Every structure is written in structure tokens, then in C-alpha cells.
Structure 1
Amino acid sequence: MQDAAELKYYQKANKKITDSLKNPEVVFMGDSITEGWVSLDPDFFHSNNYVGRGIGGQTSFQMLLRFMLDVVALCPKAVVILAGTNDIAENSSNYNSTHTLNNIKAMTAIATAHNISVILCSLLPVDDYPWNPGLNPIPKIAELNKELKELSEKQDFIFADLFSATVNEHYALKSEYSEDGVHPTLKGYKTMQPEIQEAIRKCLSL
């Protein structure tokens, strides 16, 4: 049977952590943007006892399906959720903003039920997806980011505004931070790092 959510992707890595009984401070749940962060800046994760659980191409629904295995089972103090851009890119189906927000809400509910603090990230700016052009993502990203910020305020989650740190005057990802307009370069991740670190600091001090 096909593993649609790639539940086994991090199976060995997760077992290594649970066997060691050394829980990470923070797990980053996401897609290729999160996976690329670990690949390009591994020292940022290792030195802070953070763990990345991003899988390229995944939508919020796929992340929800593996949330128990890839986040809760690792018993972190907090989770950073960066989800939704592949929903808007229509990687698996037509974009439905309500479904995406509900998937993210479900992840936060699971985290809260297991005493894991939540950091919600804004989506990064995108003016067009190279693999699925013409979807007009700018207003969709703006609306989802607004809803994520409102959810954070309502539920007392920490909101990390990665959008403002990386956007240009055309509501796209700054060219110096990306080669394809979607995925950050190391310089892009370094630019995002202070916002994430401050969000984690606030979250863990609550």
C-alpha cells in the first residue's frame, strides 16, 4: 500500500531519538522549505537541539497525518509549523483555504493536547510556482497569513512573521534570498533565523 503521507520517511531518525531518550527542544514541521533549512544550515539545528521534519512537496493534510509520529513521539517542548504553500500550489488537489486552515488547526490541537507549545509561521512570499504556474498565489498567501496570525492571537500561540523578512515590493520572495522564487537559499534562511529564534525564545519562556 502506498505511503501517501510518507510516514516512514523519518522512521529511523525518529527511533534514534526516542531510543536515546534525549528529546529535542523544538521540532520544525513542514515541507521542502523546512527540509531545505536543515540541509543548508545543519549547525543551526544541531547547536540548538532542534529537529527538522520537513518533506518536500507535502501539503498540510500530509503533515497532519504524520504529526503524531514526527512531532508528538519526539516529546519536544515546542513545534514550529510552516505549512500551506503546497496547498496553494495545488500539489494534491484544488486549493481550499478552509481545509488548509483546518488541517493546521488540527495540528495545533494535537500539539496542545500533548503539552507542546505552538509556533505558527507565516507562509513565505511567492508570486508564481514554477512547477504549476498561473495560480495567482499572492492574495491567497496574504489571506492565509492573516488567518494564521488571527489564530495565533486567539489561541495564544506565538506567530513568526517570515513573510515580512523576505518579501520584496512585488510581494514576491526577494531574489537575493532565492533562486526559484519559492525556496530560500542559505542567505534567505539566515535572514529568517532571528525571527524564528525570537519566536522560540518567547514560546519557551511562557
Structure 2
Amino acid sequence: MKRRERSGKFNRCCSLVMFFLAGAAGAGFAQAPPAGVPPAPVPAAVAIARPSAAEVRTAERALARFLETADPEIRELDRKYPGLVSVRVPPPNSATVPYLAPFFQQKHQANLEVARKGESDVLFMGDSITDFWRNADGMFAGKPVQDKYFGDLKVANFGIAGDTTQGVLYRLQNGEGRGFKPRAVMLMIGTNNTGRNSAAEIAEGVGAVVLELQKDFPEAKILLLAIFPRGAADDPVRGTIAEINAVISRLHDGERVHYLDIGQKFLDAEGNIPKDVMSDALHPTGKGYEIWAEAVNETLRKLMK
């Protein structure tokens, strides 16, 4: 009877410790961030609750006391497999640690040249979905639409295909956030973090980017777009994106940050993405860019006043 009680106590103790220290960090741990690089600051509105060093020590002491009175079988397992029964702290969130993959450096350097000219009054920041605004032809041709809706504006497109929140952080901190003063920034980032980070971690990454933009461009208004839907209607990534968007929507303050979700405009009545809108269920076609431009044009221009 005592053995069952102690075993139950052990299970409850471990469950509480793991929930407190790991569960709050999201569904799973992501890839390790670069060693020695500190994470960027994160707005409180999207921050993941993490234990302090003092709280970790308290949990470790509690676990040590438990092991002193645990069943011999449990103590033997702890001796045989060091670390099996332990307090595990969530690792740093890679989505908030500035890092740019080496093969993006060429595009980063090109963006730096644009920044140094100091002539842009609108900044488009993001990944391939933003990058392809510059495509003059092909399946994902955004340039004709940009010329139609924003041709009178001096647009700096700093989208890089394949980029992530940590890549944008690196780029801003290494020159793309200096040299010019945009009146408005249109930001969408995070879809490439899915599969690598949890929804909560990605939301932190987006929040870190917003903070960096506010620091770099204190006079600019930020149009923060919800991450666009992707995949089939029943694809699990849809749920992940919905979670991210629900969190980053808290960054809206109606003054410097303006959150806008236009995702539904890309879907049909059944929640699917028509082929003529996103042929690969991810990147907008010319028609998709038309939908996007029509949805943000008025808001973006108001923010520039």
C-alpha cells in the first residue's frame, strides 16, 4: 500500500514539475539556437512564462527531498540513469535568437545597399511571400500588382525567401534597420518557423521582431499581418497558424502597431485555398497578390499619414 502511495506521489510530483518548467514553453522544444548569442527582448504580451533561477532551485530541492524518501526502485532508477528523474528547464527559444543562414547573406547585402540609399518610405519585411512582390512574371508574380497599387510609393522590399523570425532579427540588427526612415512597415513573418518551433515560440519571435522594428524605426507605424493560411483545410499547420495569430494579435495597440488578419480572403467557402489564389497552397499567385493589395492598401496609406 505504501509503495503505491509513494509511486502515486512520485508521479504527481514529476507531472507538476514538468508542467511548470516545460509545459508552458509550448508543444515541444525546438532546434538549439546558436551558442553564445543572447535572445532578443520579447514584449510581455506574447512572452512565454519561464521559471526564474530561484524557482528552478526550489524545484530541484523539492525533487531531492522526494528522492530521499522514494521507493528503492525509484532511487535505483535514478542511480542507474542519471538525469532520468530531474528538473528540466526549457532551452532558449531559437525563434528569438538572431541568426541568418549563410546562403541568405547575398540578399542581405543587397538589402543593405537599399537601406544605405535612405530613399524608401515604406518597408515590406518578411519571407518569400513578401519577397515575391518583386517577381515581374511567373506563377508568383507580385510586381505588376505592386506597381498597380503601390507604384507611387518608395517601397523597400526586404523579404527573403525561406527566412524566419530569427533571420529577420539578425538582418535588422546588422544594418537593415538603419540608414532610412520608413513611415510604415508591413510585416508578416513566422510561417517558416512552423515545424521547427511551437506556436508560442513563434509568437515570441514575431514579438521580438516587432520590438526591434520599433527600436530601429521609432517614427514608423507597423502593419502587423496575421500569418496567411497554408495547406489544406484539415492540415494541422492551420491550427498552429491560428494559435500564433491569436497570440500576436495582442501586439496591436492602435498607435504604433496595427494588427490585421486578412487570411479569410484567400479561402473559399469550405476553407480551402483556390489554386488560382495560391497554386501551392502557400505562395500567392498574381490573383493572390491582388487580394492582398486590395485588403491592405487603404490601411497602409492611412498609417503613412
SS where residue 158 of structure 1 aligns?
Answer: strand
SS where residue 57 of structure 1 aligns?
Answer: coil
1:9 to 104, 107, 111: 107
1:57 to 129, 144, 162: 162
Answer yes or no: is 1:70 the counterpart of 2:70: no
Q: Which residue in 1 is equivalent to 2:212?
A: 110
Deviation at 1:56, TM superposition (A): 1.1
Q: Distance in 2 between matches of 1:87 and 1:192?
A: 22
SS where residue 29 of structure 1 aligns?
Answer: strand
Percent identity, aligned pairs only, is 23
- What are the residue-to-residue correspondences of 1:1-206 with 2, within 5 Å? 4=101, 6-19=104-117, 21-22=118-119, 24-39=120-135, 40-42=141-143, 43=147, 44=149, 46-68=151-173, 69-88=175-194, 90=195, 93=196, 95-113=197-215, 114-115=217-218, 116-128=220-232, 136-153=236-253, 157-205=257-305
Flag structure 1 segments of 5+ consecutive residues without an equivalent.
129-133
Q: Is the CA contact (8 Å cut-off) linking 2:124 and 2:159 kept in structure 1?
A: yes
SS where residue 118 of structure 1 aligns?
Answer: strand
TM normalised by structure 1 equals: 0.81
Deviation at 1:193, TM superposition (A): 0.4
- Residues 72, 200 of structure 1: CA spacing in aligned structure 2 closer, same or farther, 3 A cutoff? farther
Deviation at 1:55, TM superposition (A): 1.1
Deviation at 1:156, TM superposition (A): 5.1
SS where residue 80 of structure 1 aligns?
Answer: strand
- Residues 12, 54 of structure 1: CA spacing in aligned structure 2 closer, same or farther, 3 A cutoff? closer
CA RMSD of aligned residues (A): 2.5
Which deviates more, 6-15 or 182-191?
6-15
Deviation at 1:81, TM superposition (A): 0.9
Q: Distance in 1 between matches of 2:154 and 2:256?
A: 24
TM normalised by structure 2 equals: 0.57
SS where residue 142 of structure 1 aligns?
Answer: helix
User: Partner letter of residue 123 of structure 2?
Assistant: V
Q: Name the larger-Rg structure.
A: 2
SS where residue 168 of structure 1 aligns?
Answer: coil
